Copies of this chain bind each other. A is one copy, B any other.
Amino acid sequence: MDKWLNVRSLVNADALDEIYRYEVFEDYYRFYPKTVVDHAMTNEKWIMIPEELKSLYQMVGRTTPLVRAYRLEKKLKTTNRIYLKREDLLCNGSFKITSALPQAYYGALQGKQKVITETGAGQTGVAAALAAQLNGMHCQVFMVRSSYQVKKLRRTQMEVYGAQVIPSPSEATSVGRSLLSKGEMNGSIANATSEVLEQIDQDQSSFNIAGSLFDFVLTYNTVIGLEVIQQLEKVKIHPDFVVGCVGGGSSFGGFALPLLDHYGHERTQYVCTESGSIPTLTQGTYDFDYPDGEGKSNRLLMYSLGYDFKPPSMHASGLRYHAASPLLSYFVHHGAIQPVAYDETLAMKSAIDFSRTEGIVASPESCYTIHAITELCKHHEDRNIIAMITGNGSLDLESYGHFL
Protein backbone atom coordinates (compact mmCIF):
# COMPACT_ATOMS: atom_id res chain seq x y z
CA MET A 1 0.00 0.00 0.00
CA ASP A 2 1.34 3.44 -0.94
CA LYS A 3 -0.93 5.68 1.10
CA TRP A 4 -3.44 5.88 3.91
CA LEU A 5 -6.97 7.13 3.37
CA ASN A 6 -7.53 10.02 5.78
CA VAL A 7 -10.86 9.08 7.35
CA ARG A 8 -11.57 12.75 8.17
CA SER A 9 -11.78 13.50 4.46
CA LEU A 10 -14.93 11.35 4.25
CA VAL A 11 -16.90 13.85 6.35
CA ASN A 12 -17.58 17.41 5.19
CA ALA A 13 -15.91 20.33 6.97
CA ASP A 14 -19.04 21.61 8.71
CA ALA A 15 -19.82 18.22 10.16
CA LEU A 16 -16.20 17.85 11.33
CA ASP A 17 -16.36 21.25 13.00
CA GLU A 18 -19.48 20.18 14.84
CA ILE A 19 -18.12 16.78 15.92
CA TYR A 20 -14.96 18.40 17.29
CA ARG A 21 -16.59 21.63 18.53
CA TYR A 22 -14.93 21.35 21.94
CA GLU A 23 -11.71 19.63 20.91
CA VAL A 24 -8.37 21.45 21.07
CA PHE A 25 -6.13 19.54 18.69
CA GLU A 26 -3.11 21.65 19.60
CA ASP A 27 -3.15 20.03 23.05
CA TYR A 28 -2.24 16.75 21.34
CA TYR A 29 1.30 18.02 20.75
CA ARG A 30 2.06 17.39 24.41
CA PHE A 31 1.45 13.69 24.06
CA TYR A 32 1.80 12.66 20.41
CA PRO A 33 4.50 13.05 17.74
CA LYS A 34 4.22 16.18 15.62
CA THR A 35 3.47 14.40 12.33
CA VAL A 36 0.81 12.27 14.01
CA VAL A 37 -0.93 15.41 15.28
CA ASP A 38 -0.66 16.95 11.82
CA HIS A 39 -2.41 13.86 10.49
CA ALA A 40 -5.04 14.29 13.21
CA MET A 41 -5.87 17.76 11.86
CA THR A 42 -5.47 17.60 8.09
CA ASN A 43 -8.41 17.10 5.76
CA GLU A 44 -6.30 15.94 2.79
CA LYS A 45 -7.77 12.73 1.38
CA TRP A 46 -4.57 10.73 0.98
CA ILE A 47 -1.45 10.56 3.16
CA MET A 48 1.68 9.03 1.66
CA ILE A 49 3.23 6.12 3.57
CA PRO A 50 7.03 6.56 3.93
CA GLU A 51 9.17 3.84 2.32
CA GLU A 52 10.65 2.68 5.65
CA LEU A 53 7.17 2.22 7.07
CA LYS A 54 6.16 0.18 4.05
CA SER A 55 9.08 -2.14 4.79
CA LEU A 56 8.04 -2.39 8.43
CA TYR A 57 4.46 -3.18 7.43
CA GLN A 58 5.75 -5.93 5.18
CA MET A 59 7.99 -7.26 7.91
CA VAL A 60 5.19 -7.69 10.46
CA GLY A 61 3.07 -9.56 7.93
CA ARG A 62 1.23 -7.05 5.75
CA THR A 63 -0.42 -7.54 3.25
CA THR A 64 -2.53 -9.97 5.31
CA PRO A 65 -4.40 -12.60 3.28
CA LEU A 66 -8.07 -12.38 2.30
CA VAL A 67 -9.22 -15.99 2.20
CA ARG A 68 -12.45 -17.64 1.16
CA ALA A 69 -14.02 -19.70 3.97
CA TYR A 70 -15.32 -22.57 1.86
CA ARG A 71 -15.72 -24.93 4.77
CA LEU A 72 -17.68 -22.41 6.82
CA GLU A 73 -19.98 -21.84 3.83
CA LYS A 74 -20.57 -25.58 3.58
CA LYS A 75 -21.15 -25.88 7.33
CA LEU A 76 -23.69 -23.02 7.27
CA LYS A 77 -25.30 -24.56 4.16
CA THR A 78 -25.25 -21.13 2.57
CA THR A 79 -25.05 -19.91 -1.00
CA ASN A 80 -23.25 -16.79 0.26
CA ARG A 81 -19.52 -16.48 -0.36
CA ILE A 82 -17.61 -15.67 2.82
CA TYR A 83 -14.22 -13.96 2.69
CA LEU A 84 -12.05 -13.43 5.77
CA LYS A 85 -9.45 -10.70 6.19
CA ARG A 86 -6.85 -12.46 8.34
CA GLU A 87 -5.42 -9.80 10.68
CA ASP A 88 -4.75 -12.64 13.13
CA LEU A 89 -1.69 -13.58 11.07
CA LEU A 90 0.29 -10.44 11.91
CA CYS A 91 3.33 -11.34 13.99
CA ASN A 92 2.10 -9.60 17.16
CA GLY A 93 -1.23 -11.44 16.84
CA SER A 94 -3.62 -8.61 15.96
CA PHE A 95 -4.36 -5.61 13.69
CA LYS A 96 -3.09 -3.26 16.41
CA ILE A 97 0.44 -3.10 15.02
CA THR A 98 -0.97 -1.37 11.92
CA SER A 99 -1.53 1.93 13.75
CA ALA A 100 1.20 1.46 16.39
CA LEU A 101 3.99 1.28 13.79
CA PRO A 102 3.43 4.70 12.19
CA GLN A 103 3.01 6.35 15.59
CA ALA A 104 6.31 4.88 16.77
CA TYR A 105 7.96 5.68 13.46
CA TYR A 106 7.00 9.37 13.53
CA GLY A 107 8.00 9.61 17.20
CA ALA A 108 11.45 8.21 16.43
CA LEU A 109 11.78 10.48 13.40
CA GLN A 110 11.18 13.46 15.68
CA GLY A 111 13.96 12.28 17.99
CA LYS A 112 11.76 10.89 20.75
CA GLN A 113 13.31 8.04 22.72
CA LYS A 114 10.55 6.42 24.69
CA VAL A 115 7.01 5.18 24.22
CA ILE A 116 4.82 5.26 27.31
CA THR A 117 1.44 3.66 26.89
CA GLU A 118 -1.46 2.09 28.73
CA THR A 119 -3.05 -1.30 28.12
CA GLY A 120 -5.92 -3.34 29.44
CA ALA A 121 -5.79 -6.99 28.43
CA GLY A 122 -2.58 -6.31 26.54
CA GLN A 123 -3.13 -6.21 22.77
CA THR A 124 -2.44 -2.46 22.57
CA GLY A 125 0.58 -2.84 24.83
CA VAL A 126 1.98 -5.72 22.78
CA ALA A 127 1.67 -3.70 19.57
CA ALA A 128 3.22 -0.62 21.19
CA ALA A 129 6.09 -2.70 22.60
CA LEU A 130 6.88 -4.22 19.21
CA ALA A 131 6.44 -0.90 17.35
CA ALA A 132 8.80 0.85 19.79
CA GLN A 133 11.35 -1.96 19.52
CA LEU A 134 11.28 -1.98 15.71
CA ASN A 135 11.92 1.77 15.76
CA GLY A 136 14.78 1.53 18.24
CA MET A 137 13.01 3.04 21.24
CA HIS A 138 12.35 2.08 24.83
CA CYS A 139 8.80 1.24 25.85
CA GLN A 140 7.02 1.45 29.17
CA VAL A 141 3.55 -0.05 29.46
CA PHE A 142 1.16 0.69 32.30
CA MET A 143 -0.98 -2.43 32.42
CA VAL A 144 -4.25 -2.46 34.37
CA ARG A 145 -3.25 -4.31 37.54
CA SER A 146 -6.08 -6.87 37.42
CA SER A 147 -5.01 -7.85 33.88
CA TYR A 148 -1.32 -7.76 34.86
CA GLN A 149 -2.05 -10.53 37.32
CA VAL A 150 -4.30 -12.62 35.07
CA LYS A 151 -2.98 -12.10 31.52
CA LYS A 152 0.56 -13.23 32.32
CA LEU A 153 1.44 -14.46 28.85
CA ARG A 154 0.52 -11.12 27.24
CA ARG A 155 2.71 -9.42 29.82
CA THR A 156 5.55 -11.80 28.93
CA GLN A 157 4.98 -11.11 25.21
CA MET A 158 5.50 -7.39 25.86
CA GLU A 159 8.66 -8.19 27.82
CA VAL A 160 9.94 -10.47 25.06
CA TYR A 161 9.49 -7.46 22.76
CA GLY A 162 11.65 -5.49 25.20
CA ALA A 163 9.05 -3.42 27.08
CA GLN A 164 8.99 -2.67 30.78
CA VAL A 165 5.54 -3.58 32.05
CA ILE A 166 4.26 -1.81 35.18
CA PRO A 167 1.06 -2.77 36.99
CA SER A 168 -1.29 0.22 37.30
CA PRO A 169 -2.01 1.83 39.76
CA SER A 170 1.74 2.05 40.38
CA GLU A 171 4.17 3.75 42.72
CA ALA A 172 5.75 5.47 39.71
CA THR A 173 3.30 8.38 39.50
CA SER A 174 1.56 10.63 42.00
CA VAL A 175 -1.86 9.65 40.63
CA GLY A 176 -0.86 5.99 41.01
CA ARG A 177 0.39 6.47 44.57
CA SER A 178 -2.78 8.32 45.48
CA LEU A 179 -4.95 5.49 44.12
CA LEU A 180 -2.90 2.85 45.91
CA SER A 181 -3.16 4.77 49.18
CA LYS A 182 -6.95 4.67 48.78
CA GLY A 183 -6.77 0.89 48.42
CA GLU A 184 -7.51 0.84 44.66
CA MET A 185 -5.77 -2.38 43.64
CA ASN A 186 -7.56 -3.48 40.44
CA GLY A 187 -6.96 -0.41 38.35
CA SER A 188 -8.76 0.62 35.17
CA ILE A 189 -7.80 1.80 31.73
CA ALA A 190 -8.79 5.36 32.75
CA ASN A 191 -6.41 5.22 35.72
CA ALA A 192 -3.62 3.76 33.60
CA THR A 193 -4.11 6.57 31.07
CA SER A 194 -3.81 9.17 33.84
CA GLU A 195 -0.51 7.60 34.94
CA VAL A 196 0.78 7.60 31.37
CA LEU A 197 -0.09 11.25 30.79
CA GLU A 198 1.59 12.28 34.04
CA GLN A 199 4.76 10.42 33.04
CA ILE A 200 4.86 11.91 29.56
CA ASP A 201 4.31 15.40 30.93
CA GLN A 202 7.49 14.95 32.96
CA ASP A 203 9.61 13.51 30.15
CA GLN A 204 9.70 15.48 26.89
CA SER A 205 11.55 12.65 25.11
CA SER A 206 8.56 10.35 25.60
CA PHE A 207 5.19 10.09 23.87
CA ASN A 208 2.03 8.01 23.82
CA ILE A 209 0.88 5.44 21.28
CA ALA A 210 -2.90 5.54 21.04
CA GLY A 211 -4.69 2.26 20.47
CA SER A 212 -8.15 3.41 19.42
CA LEU A 213 -10.72 6.21 19.10
CA PHE A 214 -8.56 8.95 17.49
CA ASP A 215 -9.10 9.64 13.80
CA PHE A 216 -5.39 9.19 13.14
CA VAL A 217 -5.56 5.64 14.53
CA LEU A 218 -8.40 4.84 12.11
CA THR A 219 -6.50 6.53 9.27
CA TYR A 220 -3.37 4.45 9.88
CA ASN A 221 -5.55 1.34 9.99
CA THR A 222 -7.04 2.09 6.55
CA VAL A 223 -4.28 -0.02 4.98
CA ILE A 224 -6.50 -2.92 6.07
CA GLY A 225 -9.48 -1.76 3.99
CA LEU A 226 -7.32 -0.55 1.11
CA GLU A 227 -5.68 -3.99 0.93
CA VAL A 228 -9.13 -5.58 0.87
CA ILE A 229 -10.22 -3.38 -2.07
CA GLN A 230 -7.14 -4.45 -4.06
CA GLN A 231 -7.72 -8.09 -3.11
CA LEU A 232 -11.40 -7.95 -4.12
CA GLU A 233 -10.66 -6.20 -7.40
CA LYS A 234 -8.05 -8.77 -8.28
CA VAL A 235 -10.70 -11.50 -8.21
CA LYS A 236 -13.50 -9.18 -9.47
CA ILE A 237 -15.67 -9.54 -6.38
CA HIS A 238 -18.16 -6.86 -5.35
CA PRO A 239 -18.76 -6.82 -1.58
CA ASP A 240 -22.41 -7.05 -0.47
CA PHE A 241 -21.73 -7.12 3.27
CA VAL A 242 -18.73 -5.77 5.18
CA VAL A 243 -18.64 -7.11 8.72
CA GLY A 244 -16.48 -6.40 11.77
CA CYS A 245 -16.60 -5.76 15.51
CA VAL A 246 -16.50 -2.44 17.36
CA GLY A 247 -15.05 -1.50 20.73
CA GLY A 248 -13.68 2.00 20.21
CA GLY A 249 -13.97 1.45 16.47
CA SER A 250 -10.36 1.56 15.31
CA SER A 251 -10.28 -1.81 13.54
CA PHE A 252 -13.70 -1.46 11.94
CA GLY A 253 -12.96 2.12 10.92
CA GLY A 254 -9.73 1.12 9.23
CA PHE A 255 -11.39 -1.83 7.55
CA ALA A 256 -14.82 -0.51 6.53
CA LEU A 257 -14.34 3.21 5.83
CA PRO A 258 -12.10 2.72 2.75
CA LEU A 259 -14.72 0.32 1.39
CA LEU A 260 -17.50 2.77 2.20
CA ASP A 261 -15.55 5.45 0.31
CA HIS A 262 -14.90 3.13 -2.64
CA TYR A 263 -18.17 1.20 -2.98
CA GLY A 264 -20.66 3.58 -1.33
CA HIS A 265 -23.55 2.24 0.74
CA GLU A 266 -26.19 1.63 -1.89
CA ARG A 267 -25.16 -1.82 -3.06
CA THR A 268 -22.90 -2.60 -0.08
CA GLN A 269 -23.99 -2.87 3.56
CA TYR A 270 -21.69 -2.28 6.50
CA VAL A 271 -22.44 -4.24 9.65
CA CYS A 272 -20.57 -3.63 12.90
CA THR A 273 -21.09 -5.91 15.86
CA GLU A 274 -20.89 -4.93 19.48
CA SER A 275 -21.46 -6.70 22.76
CA GLY A 276 -25.03 -6.86 24.03
CA SER A 277 -23.63 -5.93 27.46
CA ILE A 278 -22.16 -2.68 26.12
CA PRO A 279 -24.63 -1.64 23.41
CA THR A 280 -23.04 1.73 22.59
CA LEU A 281 -24.11 2.02 18.96
CA THR A 282 -27.43 0.19 19.22
CA GLN A 283 -28.72 1.74 22.44
CA GLY A 284 -26.40 4.65 23.24
CA THR A 285 -27.10 8.34 22.72
CA TYR A 286 -25.64 10.35 19.85
CA ASP A 287 -24.53 13.50 21.64
CA PHE A 288 -21.51 15.23 23.13
CA ASP A 289 -19.80 13.18 25.79
CA TYR A 290 -16.40 12.66 27.40
CA PRO A 291 -14.16 10.04 25.77
CA ASP A 292 -12.45 9.33 29.12
CA GLY A 293 -14.12 7.66 32.06
CA GLU A 294 -13.89 10.61 34.42
CA GLY A 295 -15.26 13.59 32.51
CA LYS A 296 -11.92 15.37 32.42
CA SER A 297 -11.16 15.66 28.69
CA ASN A 298 -13.04 17.61 26.00
CA ARG A 299 -16.40 16.31 24.85
CA LEU A 300 -16.86 14.73 21.43
CA LEU A 301 -20.01 14.18 19.35
CA MET A 302 -20.42 10.42 19.34
CA TYR A 303 -22.54 7.49 20.48
CA SER A 304 -22.05 6.88 24.16
CA LEU A 305 -23.60 5.03 27.08
CA GLY A 306 -22.39 7.90 29.29
CA TYR A 307 -18.82 8.51 30.37
CA ASP A 308 -19.65 7.15 33.82
CA PHE A 309 -20.96 3.84 32.38
CA LYS A 310 -18.90 1.04 33.85
CA PRO A 311 -18.44 -1.67 31.19
CA PRO A 312 -19.03 -5.09 32.75
CA SER A 313 -16.24 -7.63 32.84
CA MET A 314 -16.23 -9.78 29.69
CA HIS A 315 -13.90 -11.99 27.66
CA ALA A 316 -13.74 -9.62 24.69
CA SER A 317 -12.00 -6.90 26.67
CA GLY A 318 -11.31 -5.00 23.45
CA LEU A 319 -15.04 -4.22 23.30
CA ARG A 320 -15.16 -2.73 26.79
CA TYR A 321 -15.64 0.97 26.07
CA HIS A 322 -18.54 3.28 26.83
CA ALA A 323 -18.41 5.19 23.51
CA ALA A 324 -17.38 4.75 19.88
CA SER A 325 -15.14 6.70 17.49
CA PRO A 326 -16.81 10.03 16.53
CA LEU A 327 -16.39 9.35 12.81
CA LEU A 328 -17.77 5.83 13.04
CA SER A 329 -20.61 7.22 15.17
CA TYR A 330 -21.28 9.82 12.46
CA PHE A 331 -21.71 7.17 9.78
CA VAL A 332 -23.90 5.05 12.04
CA HIS A 333 -26.01 8.12 12.86
CA HIS A 334 -26.44 8.84 9.15
CA GLY A 335 -27.41 5.27 8.35
CA ALA A 336 -24.35 4.30 6.31
CA ILE A 337 -23.30 1.68 8.86
CA GLN A 338 -25.64 -0.72 10.70
CA PRO A 339 -24.76 -1.70 14.26
CA VAL A 340 -25.92 -4.99 15.77
CA ALA A 341 -25.40 -6.30 19.31
CA TYR A 342 -24.99 -9.92 20.30
CA ASP A 343 -24.87 -11.91 23.47
CA GLU A 344 -21.45 -13.24 24.51
CA THR A 345 -22.61 -16.85 24.84
CA LEU A 346 -24.00 -16.92 21.30
CA ALA A 347 -20.84 -15.27 19.95
CA MET A 348 -18.53 -17.76 21.67
CA LYS A 349 -20.65 -20.70 20.54
CA SER A 350 -20.43 -19.57 16.91
CA ALA A 351 -16.68 -19.03 17.35
CA ILE A 352 -16.08 -22.54 18.70
CA ASP A 353 -18.01 -23.98 15.74
CA PHE A 354 -15.89 -21.76 13.50
CA SER A 355 -12.62 -23.05 15.05
CA ARG A 356 -13.76 -26.59 14.36
CA THR A 357 -14.69 -25.72 10.80
CA GLU A 358 -11.89 -23.40 9.66
CA GLY A 359 -9.16 -24.28 12.20
CA ILE A 360 -8.82 -20.63 13.21
CA VAL A 361 -9.03 -19.67 16.89
CA ALA A 362 -10.20 -16.05 16.68
CA SER A 363 -9.75 -13.33 19.29
CA PRO A 364 -12.78 -12.99 21.61
CA GLU A 365 -13.69 -9.69 19.92
CA SER A 366 -13.90 -11.35 16.50
CA CYS A 367 -16.23 -14.02 17.88
CA TYR A 368 -19.01 -11.41 17.57
CA THR A 369 -18.12 -10.94 13.91
CA ILE A 370 -18.27 -14.68 13.34
CA HIS A 371 -21.71 -14.78 14.93
CA ALA A 372 -22.81 -11.92 12.67
CA ILE A 373 -21.75 -13.93 9.60
CA THR A 374 -23.85 -16.83 10.86
CA GLU A 375 -26.87 -14.55 11.32
CA LEU A 376 -26.46 -12.89 7.90
CA CYS A 377 -26.44 -16.31 6.27
CA LYS A 378 -29.85 -17.07 7.77
CA HIS A 379 -31.43 -14.13 5.97
CA HIS A 380 -29.50 -13.66 2.73
CA GLU A 381 -28.46 -15.73 -0.26
CA ASP A 382 -25.86 -15.56 -3.00
CA ARG A 383 -24.06 -12.54 -1.52
CA ASN A 384 -20.40 -11.73 -0.95
CA ILE A 385 -19.70 -11.32 2.75
CA ILE A 386 -16.35 -9.76 3.66
CA ALA A 387 -15.48 -10.07 7.35
CA MET A 388 -12.42 -9.24 9.41
CA ILE A 389 -10.76 -11.49 11.98
CA THR A 390 -9.03 -8.80 14.07
CA GLY A 391 -6.67 -11.03 16.00
CA ASN A 392 -5.81 -14.54 17.04
CA GLY A 393 -7.11 -16.08 20.22
CA SER A 394 -4.11 -18.18 21.29
CA LEU A 395 -3.59 -16.17 24.45
CA ASP A 396 -7.35 -16.07 25.05
CA LEU A 397 -7.83 -19.82 25.04
CA GLU A 398 -8.81 -19.62 28.70
CA SER A 399 -11.85 -17.58 27.62
CA TYR A 400 -12.74 -20.35 25.18
CA GLY A 401 -12.32 -22.85 27.99
CA HIS A 402 -15.19 -21.17 29.90
CA PHE A 403 -17.61 -21.96 27.09
CA LEU A 404 -16.62 -25.55 26.30
Binding site for B on A (CB under 8 A): 55, 59-60, 70-71, 89, 91-93, 97, 130, 133-134, 152-153, 156-157, 159-162, 352, 355-356, 358-361, 392, 394-395, 397-398, 400-401, 404
Contacts and interface: CB of A to CB of B under 8 A. Distances in A.
30 contacts: A55-B70, A59-B70, A60-B359, A71-B134, A89-B89, A91-B358, A91-B360, A91-B361, A93-B394, A97-B359, A130-B359, A134-B359, A152-B398, A153-B153, A153-B394, A153-B395, A153-B397, A156-B398, A156-B400, A156-B401, A156-B404, A157-B394, A159-B401, A159-B404, A160-B361, A160-B397, A161-B359, A392-B394, A394-B395, A395-B395
Main secondary structure of the interface of A (DSSP, over half): helix
A161 B355 contact: yes
Contacts of A358: 59, 91
Given A59-B70, A359-B134, A397 B157 contact: yes
A356 B401 contact: no
Given A59-B359, A156-B404, 16 more contacts: A59-B71, A59-B358, A91-B358, A91-B359, A93-B394, A133-B359, A152-B401, A153-B397, A153-B398, A159-B404, A160-B352, A160-B361, A161-B359, A162-B356, A392-B394, A395-B397
A130 B360 CA distance: 10
A89 B359 CA distance: 12
Contacts of A160: 352, 355-356, 361, 397, 400, 404
Nearest to A404: B159
Residue among A92, A152, A160, A394 facing the most chain B CB atoms (10 A cut-off): A160
A355 to B, nearest CB: 5
Stoichiometry, as copies per complex, reads 2
A91 B71 CA distance: 14
Contacts of A93: 394
A97 B153 CA distance: 24
A71 B291 CA distance: 38
Contacts of A398: 152-153, 156
Nearest to A353: B162
A153 B93 CA distance: 16
A275 to B, nearest CB: 21
Contacts of A395: 153, 394-395, 397
A252 B266 CA distance: 53
A97 B360 CA distance: 13
A92 B160 CA distance: 22
A358 B359 CA distance: 26
Contacts of A133: 356, 359
Contacts of A361: 91, 157, 160
A389 to B, nearest CB: 11
A157 B356 CA distance: 10
A352 B156 CA distance: 11
A59 B70 CA distance: 8
Contacts of A392: 394
Contacts of A397: 153, 156-157, 160, 395
A74 to B, nearest CB: 11
A26 B358 CA distance: 35
Nearest to A351: B160
A201 to B, nearest CB: 28
A200 to B, nearest CB: 23
A157 B71 CA distance: 20
